[in-house]
């Protein structure tokens, strides 16, 4: 029986994403030699998650560390009223589940596949052994966690002290990494998710984007791309 092109394409995609290689694009392992990376590969367990599927949930035992091979995850919490609070996005090459490294406990948030994803997991004992063997991995991880902590503190400060428009503009400025004037920034999330991250509603986000455009603080370049006008890092 002849298989359709769609089936063959899907099978090729699955086969490609199940290969136990391609850790070269993972910043966590950048400092390691090819030999050291090959030693790590057997510890990585690859799994496919469909869009909307959870890797872990609050209350679940924190016994694994996750690295996104392809796709994107979103980490979020639910408040007492059931309102969702987006914490961060985890793109390919980045990690989550770090709670498993530091203490025996449970996850405190949801990790959900924002897209179809392929994700490596490493057991708690294996990742702890890696950190002991390769301190450079631990240093990179501490640097990333420090940035996340700073971002979380900033997120809290925005929600409690600033207007929605100020929160939005300040968030856009955090996406600037070049020294050029009028830099272009790109959102990695939909407005609904941005609203959740900034502690407001989609309607408010859309309204404040319009206000920032009218005030000539930003210009819309294309979908999810904006130019910050008269802006400089200095």
Residue 20 has pLDDT above 80, yes or no: no
Any idea which fold 5-148 has?
Jelly Rolls (2.60.120)
Instruction: Round to whole Å and give the CA distance between 217 and 36.
Output: 48
Contacts 24+ apart (CB under 8 A), 213-222: 217/169, 218/169, 218/172, 221/184
pLDDT of residue 2: 40
Q: DSSP letter string over 1-14?
A: -PPPHHHHHHHHHH
Question: Residue 124 half-sphere exposure, CB side, CA atoms within 13 Å?
Answer: 11
More confidently predicted of 19 and 174: 174
Give the pLDDT mean for 161-175: 88
Give the pLDDT score at 5.
43
Specify the pairing of strand 64-70 against strand 117-123: antiparallel
At residue 18 the predicted structure's pLDDT band, cuts being 50, 70 and 90, is: very low
Q: Which of 15-19, 208-212, 220-224 is predicted with the least confidence, judged by mean pLDDT?
A: 15-19
Residue spans of alpha helices (H) in 103-163 = 124-133, 135-161
Summary mean pLDDT of the chain? 83
> Which residues are registered as beta bridge partners of 62?
none
Q: Both tokens of residue 39?
A: 């030693």
For 175-201, the pLDDT digits (tens) are 887 777 788 999 988 889 999 888 889
Answer whether CATH 3.10.20.740 is correct for domain 162-228.
no
pLDDT at res. 47? 95
Cβ(111)–Cβ(66) below 8 Å: yes
pLDDT on residue 11: 40
**Domain extents in the chain:** 5-148, 162-228
Please name the residue that has the structure tokens 């890696």: 130
């Amino acid at each position: 029986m002849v298989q359709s092109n769609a089936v063959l394409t899907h099978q090729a995609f699955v086969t490609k994403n199940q290969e136990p290689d391609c850790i070269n694009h993972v910043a966590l392992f950048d400092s390691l030699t090819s030999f050291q990376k090959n030693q790590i590969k057997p510890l990585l367990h690859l799994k496919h998650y469909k869009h909307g599927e959870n890797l872990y949930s609050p209350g679940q035992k924190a016994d694994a560390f996750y690295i996104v091979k392809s796709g994107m995850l979103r980490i979020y919490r639910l408040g007492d009223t059931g309102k969702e609070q987006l914490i961060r996005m985890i793109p390919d090459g980045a990690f989550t589940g770090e709670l498993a490294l530091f203490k025996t406990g449970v996850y405190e948030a949801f990790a959900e596949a924002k897209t179809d994803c392929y994700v490596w997991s490493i057991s708690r004992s294996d990742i702890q052994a890696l950190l002991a063997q390769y301190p450079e991995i631990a240093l990179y991880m501490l640097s990333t966690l420090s940035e996340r902590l700073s971002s979380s503190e900033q997120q809290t400060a925005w929600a409690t002290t600033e207007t929605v428009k100020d929160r939005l503009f300040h968030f856009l400025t955090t996406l600037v990494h070049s020294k050029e004037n009028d830099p272009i920034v790109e959102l990695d999330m939909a407005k609904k998710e941005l609203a959740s991250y900034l502690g407001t509603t989609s309607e408010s986000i859309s309204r404040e984007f319009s206000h920032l455009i009218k005030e000539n603080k930003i210009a819309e370049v294309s979908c999810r791309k904006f130019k910050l006008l008269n802006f400089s890092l200095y």
